[in-house]
Amino acid sequence: MNVIVIDDAKVVAQTMSTVIYCDTISQLHIEMNRYSGTTTPHILVLPEFVPPITARLVQSAFASAAINGGSSIYHSSAVPLYEHREESDSCLDDYLKEASRLWLEHRRLLESCDDPIVRFMTEWTAAAGVEVQRLELAGQPCFFGQYRCFGGEDIKPHVDAIEREFPTVITRPTQQWALNISVRAPRDGGELDIWGDVPSYGEYRGYGLTRPVAEPALRYRPSVGDLYVFEPRFVHAINASSSPRCALAGFVGVWKDQSIRVWS
């Protein structure tokens, strides 16, 4: 494998695009500014953000908690905001009513696990010099940091673009990143595939896009403890795995006024 050192970041060539390994959240922040908006996808990884023992504690915390439902696509500890997008029949108020309760419940569940979500938000705030806050809709904060497991089935090609999910209330962020903190990784399968395709407004559909014919530009199999981000405007999919593949997950958006908001 080809390792190039650029500034402090190790850039590892994987297929046609790049996985950029960072040592700290500050470095990740710098690399996100550098790579956002480029024409090819990149994955930025902070390995060992969560030590293996903590990853196990996170799994146990959710194993013994009532899982709240999840999305129409996978099981998770909270129904994601995507399910309440404007074109859906789901009531956004239901999501917002639950968001703060779920936020507090997740803090309670993760308090003995050096809460990786709070750590991320605190360290990101310090790195960016701007307070990272939960996205607000109708004056109420969204939830952030769902625990979710993928497994036996592929997660089909899709894109995530908050301004397309809520076109009348959310302006397009200058950056949107999908954030995942891996706490359980399968031995086989579970690769994240990302293509260089970005659907136009006309082609946009959140989930279940036609699988591109071309090979993915990037393929990445997360390891336990990795915190990784990528731009979800690029078509991406996750391959089925032999055992559960679990992570704390959400999105980070940066807007023109430099505000940084997170949501799940």
Ligand X SMILES: O=C(O)CCC(=O)C(=O)O
- Positive or negative, the CA dihedral 103, 105, 109, 111 is positive
Give Cα 247 to chain centroid, integer Å: 9
Nearer to ligand X by Cβ, of 113 and 185: the residue is 185
CB 116 within 8 A of CB 248: yes
Binding track, positions 149-178, relative to ligand X; x by CB under 6 A: ------x----x-----------------x
Q: Which residue is nearest to ligand X (CB)?
A: 178
Nearer to ligand X by Cβ, of 128 and 181: the residue is 181
Nearer to ligand X by Cβ, of 144 and 258: the residue is 144
CB 70 within 8 A of CB 81: no
Nearer to ligand X by Cβ, of 47 and 140: the residue is 47
Q: What share of the chain is helix, strand, coil (3-state, %, to 5)?
A: 25, 30, 45
Q: Does 192 bind ligand X (CB under 6 A)?
A: yes
- Positive or negative, the CA dihedral 25, 143, 200, 172 is negative
Task: Tell me how far, at minimum, the Cβ of 171 lies from ligand X, in Å.
Answer: 20
Among 55, 247, 252, 260, binds ligand X (CB under 6 A): 247
How many residues sit in the footprint of ligand X (CB under 6 A)? 10
Q: Does 180 bind ligand X (CB under 6 A)?
A: yes
| Nearest in space to 257 (alpha carbons), one of 122, 121, 124, 130 | 130
Task: Tell me how far, at minimum, the Cβ of 5 lies from ligand X, in Å.
Answer: 26
Which CA distances in Å does 88 have to 81, 91, 95, 183? Answer: 11, 8, 13, 31
Q: Does 55 bind ligand X (CB under 6 A)?
A: no
Among 217, 238, 260, 262, binds ligand X (CB under 6 A): 238
Task: Tell me how far, at minimum, the Cβ of 215 lies from ligand X, in Å.
Answer: 18
Taking CB under 6 A as the binding criterion, the range among 18-26, 81-89, 230-238, 255-263 that sits at the site for ligand X is 230-238
> What is the residue type of 245?
R
Nearer to ligand X by Cβ, of 41 and 232: the residue is 232
Radius of gyration of the chain (CA): 17
- Mark out the alpha helices in the chain (DSSP H runs): 25-35, 52-63, 92-110, 116-128, 162-165
> What is the residue type of 200?
S
Taking CB under 6 A as the binding criterion, the range among 79-87, 106-114, 195-203, 232-240 that sits at the site for ligand X is 232-240
Question: What is the Cα–Cα distance from 232 to 215, expressed in whole angstroms?
Answer: 17
Q: Can you tell me which residue has the tokens 């990853």?
A: 55
Nearer to ligand X by Cβ, of 68 and 264: the residue is 264
CB 19 within 8 A of CB 218: yes
Among 236, 239, 253, 262, binds ligand X (CB under 6 A): 236
Nearer to ligand X by Cβ, of 121 and 249: the residue is 249
| Residues found near ligand X in the complex (CB under 6 A) | 155, 160, 178, 180, 192, 232, 236, 238, 247, 249
